[in-house]
């Protein structure tokens, strides 16, 4: 049964294999250079050389990085659509289920074997892609120090395997419910994308209760003031650059927990207010040469703020990266298994 | 080897048709003593009929003593009708062919010829008038 | 004794419509059984229930003494050819045979290879490129090479031309002789079945109308002709299946175990086609009566 399941599935495997091999070749050719540069970077002394090297690593292979990242991001969906959706839908649609189910294998064995073979293959394919990308991009990721970003988190390490399992299961379920391949494929695309996006935006930040971290006003962040049409001033601070963390929110908190209000700004930064034209724009403080000349009133106000307030970040710290990968991966895998069980049950109920 | 043909509309049951065709073949000399009959499988492979029909026909012919089954070898003709008729049959066939040609020249179509013959035959005396 | 198929009160419903209802029959082994009826009468439903592609709504069915598709062994004892003989059009004939070998423990590769050879088919040929007749033969090969005890065929010749039809049935009969299988084949064309079947089941209006050995059925059914008033004088032992009357003459198809002694009737034997048509006509009459009475009641 396993051999025949492979035989039916041969063409799809070949297509994806060719793709993965092509990617592997490209990554294998360019990877060692990056690794080499990174090794040199560790031992570099002169600032100019270090900058040159880190720039080469971070920006030298952008086309490949973008392509490979995009592929790893999209691969689970493709597997769900082209491997999962037709798996059972096509047999029903074309009537070949009447041939397959009268052979000397029980319905259970047939369903379970097909689900296992193709499901595992999906996970392996996504896993291979993820592993290759993780290996190749590891120096770049280290320098970028942004592991919780979608470019890294969603496409490296463990979660793509779970995404693939989930997409596959969605495809199979859609196929079993629709009993036709094309609607199943479309449904898979829509459902998978919707769930993934929702989970990433709404659920991932709260998989574990976020921590609160108190920091001084960020030195490398961007500040700005905005004036509403009624003349009120608000302070905007992009949350600081906590490396490899997932920052959800940043609040300015003063003594006794007071917030930084417009009234405080009106009182302490009177020169910031101009009648008529609003003060707007973001000026970066702390990095020379970027942005325009900083008006004195601006930097005075920022100094006052820094003296009386500190920033409280709501975040998931870097140390939680791996727990998050396992938790999120576990959730998607569990849902995938539940969908497969449902499909099995539905199929037996609908037919016999 | 004899080949059977089934006429679905004749009103005669299939197994009877097979029995008749074997008997006719014996009468006309197309089957002689010692000839082998086709196996059941060969018969049904040529004309798509139920094997039991063939078995039933062969059983009846065997019962009448005309054929016998030799296990592992086949089914053979062991008896026939009066052989001396063969020569007379050849002469009669020739006369009949001449008669048919005459009937055609007279302008009779196939159905009229058959009707004329059957009618004459049915009303002819059943026994030789001495 | 095991029956090929044994059903008791079997019924299958889709939504509000009963595709098959109140089906009870015991079909003996060792026969070539014809399952006849108009389209939509429930033939495919019955066969699918027997193979385990569907489960009953009510009632029960057992095939060769066991529940349908109850185990891999039981599935191996049944060969099934579905309507329109589905095959994997992208796979070669050889790949199909490999499938058969992989999925059936009783697979006889020699039989399969021999048949494909005898049919003159190229094993490397893709199944999608075969003609209808060739596909039917491939499907039959896949069913037979399992060395089943029972062959179920759903309208195997419906879409074939007359020559291919005759060839298929001839080969099927050879298979019956060679492998000693019981066969149940469905068709909506009686002429196909008349030559090859020795047992008959007539399905019409989702019910079994009549079933039995062909010899028995033909000897107990008669076509009688008489006057319309004689119809009422028929004894109770004579069951009228269908009748049609003009002013002066009535013809009827009847079932009677005892011979009909009344000299008022002239009696002829029936062909299988007459018999099937009579029962199908009866079913249609009953259906119309039902619809009319429902309409009247409203």
Decide if C205 touches B, using CB distance below 8 A: no
Average pLDDT over residues A16-43: 90
Is C234's pLDDT higher than 70?
Answer: yes
CB contact under 8 Å between B40 and C177, yes or no, is yes
How much is the pLDDT for A289? 34
| Nearest residue on chain A to C75, alpha-carbon basis | A104
A22 or A258, which is more confident: A22
Cβ A158 vs Cβ A329: under 8 Å: yes
How much is the pLDDT for A278? 44
pLDDT band at B130 (very low <50, low <70, confident <90, very high): low
Condensed to tens digits (0 to 9), the pLDDT of residues A183-222 reads: 999 999 999 999 999 998 888 888 888 888 887 776 555 6
B vs C, Cβ pairs < 8 A, gives 42
Residue among C169, C178, C198 whose CB faces B48 most closely: C169
Share of chain A above pLDDT 70, in %: 88
Cβ C139 vs Cβ C100: under 8 Å: no
How much is the pLDDT for C232? 78
Average pLDDT over residues C68-81: 91
Residue B75: list chain C partners with CB under 8 A. Answer: none
Residue C60: list chain A partners with CB under 8 A. Answer: none
Cβ C144 vs Cβ C111: under 8 Å: yes
Average pLDDT over residues A70-74: 94
pLDDT band at A277 (very low <50, low <70, confident <90, very high): very low
Decide if C71 touches A, using CB distance below 8 A: yes
Three-class SS of residue C151? strand
| Nearest residue on chain C to B14, alpha-carbon basis | C195
| Nearest residue on chain B to C167, alpha-carbon basis | B48
Closest CA to A169 of A240, A87, A238: A87
Decide if B44 touches C, using CB distance below 8 A: yes
How much is the pLDDT for B92? 87
Region for A316 from its dihedrals, namely left if φ exceeds 0, alpha if ψ lies in -120 to 50, beta otherwise = beta
Share of chain A above pLDDT 90, in %: 48
Residue among A8, A99, A106 whose CB faces C72 most closely: A106
Residue C79: list chain A partners with CB under 8 A. Answer: 102
A vs C, Cβ pairs < 8 A, gives 80
A111 or B121, which is more confident: A111
Residue among C75, C84, C95 whose CB faces A102 most closely: C75
How much is the pLDDT for A285? 40
**Whole-structure pTM value:** 0.84
Decide if B52 touches C, using CB distance below 8 A: yes
| Nearest residue on chain C to B15, alpha-carbon basis | C195
How much is the pLDDT for A40? 83
How much is the pLDDT for B9? 72
How much is the pLDDT for B76? 92
Closest CA to B23 of B49, B48, B44, B2: B2
Decide if C142 touches A, using CB distance below 8 A: yes
What is the CATH class of B14-77? mainly alpha
CB contact under 8 Å between C176 and B44, yes or no, is yes
Is A108's pLDDT higher than 60?
Answer: yes
Region for C249 from its dihedrals, namely left if φ exceeds 0, alpha if ψ lies in -120 to 50, beta otherwise = beta
pLDDT band at C199 (very low <50, low <70, confident <90, very high): very high
How much is the pLDDT for B85? 66
pLDDT band at A116 (very low <50, low <70, confident <90, very high): very high
Region for C197 from its dihedrals, namely left if φ exceeds 0, alpha if ψ lies in -120 to 50, beta otherwise = beta
How much is the pLDDT for A272? 65
Is A287's pLDDT higher than 70?
Answer: no
Decide if C146 touches A, using CB distance below 8 A: yes
Give the residue from C69, C93, C126, C128 with the most A CB atoms within 10 Å of its CB, the best one to mutate: C69
CB contact under 8 Å between B50 and C198, yes or no, is yes
Is A157's pLDDT higher than 50?
Answer: yes
Cβ A159 vs Cβ A200: under 8 Å: no
| Domain chopping of chain A, boundaries | 2-206+321-350, 211-316
How much is the pLDDT for B21? 93
Condensed to tens digits (0 to 9), the pLDDT of residues C172-182 reads: 999 999 988 99
| Nearest residue on chain C to B55, alpha-carbon basis | C177
Chains C and B, touching by 3 or more CB pairs within 8 angstroms: yes
Q: How far apart are CA A131 and CA A24, in angstroms?
A: 10
Residue among B6, B8, B48 whose CB faces C173 most closely: B48
Phi, psi of A123 (to 5 degrees): -65, -40
Angstroms from A350 CA to nearest CA on chain C: 8
Asked if ipTM goes beyond 0.85, one says yes
Q: Is the dihedral of CA A210, A211, A212, A218 positive or negative?
A: negative
Residue C174: list chain B partners with CB under 8 A. Answer: 41, 44-45
Average pLDDT over residues C159-171: 89
Q: How far apart are CA B126 and CA B121, in angstroms?
A: 9
Domains in chain C and their CATH numbers? 3-204 (3.40.50.300), 216-297 (no CATH)
Q: Is A146 exposed, middle or buried (0-12, 13-18, 19+ CB in 10 A)?
A: middle
How much is the pLDDT for A286? 37
How much is the pLDDT for A98? 95
For chain C, what is the mean pLDDT? Answer: 90
Angstroms from C79 CA to nearest CA on chain A: 7
Q: Which of A39-53, A226-240, A317-331, B13-27 has the lowest mean pLDDT?
A: A226-240
Q: How far apart are CA C39 and CA C159, in angstroms?
A: 14
Interface of A with C (CB under 8 A): 1, 3-4, 7-8, 11, 94-99, 101-107, 109, 351-352
Average pLDDT over residues A69-91: 95
Cβ A83 vs Cβ A168: under 8 Å: yes
For chain A, what is the mean pLDDT? Answer: 85
How much is the pLDDT for A83? 96
The single-letter DSSP state of residue C34 is E
Is A298's pLDDT higher than 80?
Answer: no
| Nearest residue on chain C to B8, alpha-carbon basis | C195
Average pLDDT over residues C249-272: 84
Q: How far apart are CA C32 and CA C29, in angstroms?
A: 9
pLDDT band at A306 (very low <50, low <70, confident <90, very high): confident
Quote helix, strand, coil % in chain C, to nearest 5: 40, 30, 30
How much is the pLDDT for C239? 86
Condensed to tens digits (0 to 9), the pLDDT of residues A230-243 reads: 667 777 776 666 78
How much is the pLDDT for A284? 39
Decide if C177 touches B, using CB distance below 8 A: yes
Give the residue from B4, B7, B9, B44 with the most C CB atoms within 10 Å of its CB, the best one to mutate: B44
Alpha-helical (H) ranges within chain C are 43-51, 72-76, 93-103, 109-118, 132-144, 162-179, 190-196, 214-220, 228-232, 272-297
Average pLDDT over residues C92-102: 94
Chains with at least 3 CB pairs less than 8 angstroms from chain C:
A, B
pLDDT band at C226 (very low <50, low <70, confident <90, very high): confident
Phi, psi of C7 (to 5 degrees): -125, 145
Three-class SS of residue C12? strand
User: What kind and span of H or E run contains A254?
Assistant: strand A246-254
Condensed to tens digits (0 to 9), the pLDDT of residues B69-125 reads: 988 889 999 888 766 566 777 888 899 999 999 999 999 999 999 999 988 888 887
DSSP string computed for C208-239:
EEEEEEHHHHHHHEEEEEE-HHHHHT--TTSE
- The residues with which A285 forms a beta bridge, in sequence order, are none
Phi, psi of A318 (to 5 degrees): -55, -35
Side-chain-side CA neighbours of residue A79 (13 Å):
33
Q: Which of A102-111, A136-145, C5-14 has the lowest mean pLDDT?
A: A136-145
Is A288's pLDDT higher than 50?
Answer: no
Average pLDDT over residues C63-76: 91
Q: How far apart are CA A179 and CA A90, in angstroms?
A: 8
Q: Which of A71-75, A243-247, C35-39 has the lowest mean pLDDT?
A: A243-247
Q: How far apart are CA C216 and CA B104, in angstroms?
A: 46
How much is the pLDDT for A290? 41
């Amino acid at each position: 049964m396993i051999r025949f399941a492979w035989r039916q599935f041969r063409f799809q495997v070949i297509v994806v294999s060719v793709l993965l091999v092509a990617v592997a070749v490209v990554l294998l050719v360019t990877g060692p250079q990056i690794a080499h540069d990174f090794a040199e970077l560790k031992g570099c002394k002169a600032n100019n050389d270090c900058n040159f090297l880190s720039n080469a690593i971070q920006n030298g292979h952008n086309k490949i990085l973008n392509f490979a990242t995009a592929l790893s991001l999209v691969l689970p969906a493709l597997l769900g659509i082209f491997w999962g959706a037709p798996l059972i839908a096509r047999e029903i649609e074309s009537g070949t289920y009447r041939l397959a189910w009268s052979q000397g294998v029980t319905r259970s064995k047939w369903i379970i074997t097909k689900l296992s073979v193709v499901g595992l293959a999906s996970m392996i394919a996504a896993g291979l892609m993820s592993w290759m990308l993780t290996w190749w991009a590891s120096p770049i990721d280290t320098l970028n120090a942004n592991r919780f970003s979608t470019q890294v988190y969603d496409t490296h390490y463990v979660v793509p395997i779970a995404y693939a399992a989930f997409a596959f299961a969605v495809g199979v379920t859609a196929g079993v419910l629709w009993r036709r391949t094309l609607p199943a494929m479309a449904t898979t695309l829509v459902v998978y994308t919707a769930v993934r996006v929702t989970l990433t935006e709404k659920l991932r930040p709260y998989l574990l209760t976020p921590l609160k971290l108190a920091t001084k006003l960020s030195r490398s962040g961007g500040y700005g003031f905005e004036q509403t049409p009624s003349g009120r001033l608000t302070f905007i601070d992009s949350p600081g650059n906590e490396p490899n963390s997932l920052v959800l929110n940043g609040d300015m908190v003063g003594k006794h927990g007071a917030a930084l209000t417009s009234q405080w700004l009106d009182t302490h930064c009177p020169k910031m207010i101009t009648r008529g034209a609003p003060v707007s724009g973001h000026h970066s403080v702390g990095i020379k040469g970027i942005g325009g000349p900083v008006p004195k009133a601006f930097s005075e106000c920022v100094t006052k703020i820094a003296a009386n307030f500190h920033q409280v970040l709501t975040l998931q710290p870097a140390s939680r990266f791996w727990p998050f990968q396992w938790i999120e991966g576990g959730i998607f895998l569990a849902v995938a298994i539940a969908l497969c069980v449902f499909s099995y049950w539905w199929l037996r109920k609908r037919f016999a | 080897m004899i080949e059977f043909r089934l006429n679905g509309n004749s009103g005669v049951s299939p197994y009877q048709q097979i029995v008749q065709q074997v008997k006719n073949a014996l009468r006309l000399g197309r089957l002689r003593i010692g000839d082998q009959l086709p196996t059941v499988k060969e018969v049904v492979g040529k004309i798509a009929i139920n094997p039991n029909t063939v078995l039933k026909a062969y059983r009846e012919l065997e019962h009448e003593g005309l054929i016998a089954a030799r296990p592992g070898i086949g089914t053979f003709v062991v008896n026939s009708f009066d052989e001396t008729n063969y020569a007379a049959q050849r002469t009669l066939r020739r006369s009949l062919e001449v008669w048919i040609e005459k009937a055609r020249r007279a302008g009779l179509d196939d159905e009229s010829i058959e009707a004329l013959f059957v009618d004459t035959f049915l009303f002819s005396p059943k026994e030789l008038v001495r | 004794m095991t029956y090929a198929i044994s059903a008791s009160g079997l019924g299958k419903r889709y939504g509000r419509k009963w595709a098959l209802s109140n089906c009870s029959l015991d079909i003996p082994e060792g026969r070539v059984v014809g399952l006849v009826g108009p389209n939509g009468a429930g033939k495919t439903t019955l066969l699918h229930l027997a193979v385990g592609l569907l489960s009953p709504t009510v009632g029960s069915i057992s095939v060769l003494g066991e529940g349908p598709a109850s185990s891999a062994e039981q599935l191996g004892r049944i060969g099934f050819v579905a309507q329109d003989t589905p095959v994997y059009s992208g796979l070669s004939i050889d790949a199909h045979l490999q499938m058969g070998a992989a999925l059936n423990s009783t697979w006889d590769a020699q039989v399969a290879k021999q048949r494909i050879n005898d049919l003159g088919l190229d094993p490397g040929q893709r199944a999608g490129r075969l003609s209808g007749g060739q596909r039917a033969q491939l499907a039959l090969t896949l069913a037979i090479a399992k060395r089943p005890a029972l062959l179920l065929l759903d309208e195997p010749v419906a879409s074939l031309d007359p020559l291919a039809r005759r060839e298929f049935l001839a080969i099927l009969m050879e298979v019956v002789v060679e492998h000693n299988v019981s066969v149940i084949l469905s068709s909506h064309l009686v002429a196909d079945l008349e030559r090859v079947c020795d047992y008959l089941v007539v399905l019409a209006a989702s019910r079994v109308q009549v079933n039995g050995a062909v010899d028995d059925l033909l000897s107990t059914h008669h076509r009688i002709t008489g006057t319309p008033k004689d119809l009422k004088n028929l004894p109770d032992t004579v069951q009228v299946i269908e009748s049609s009357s003009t002013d002066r003459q009535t013809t009827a198809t009847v079932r009677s175990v005892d011979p009909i002694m009344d000299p008022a009737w002239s009696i002829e034997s029936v062909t299988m086609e007459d018999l099937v048509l009579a029962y199908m006509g009866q079913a249609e009459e009953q259906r119309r009566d039902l619809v009319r009475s429902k309409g009247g009641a409203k």
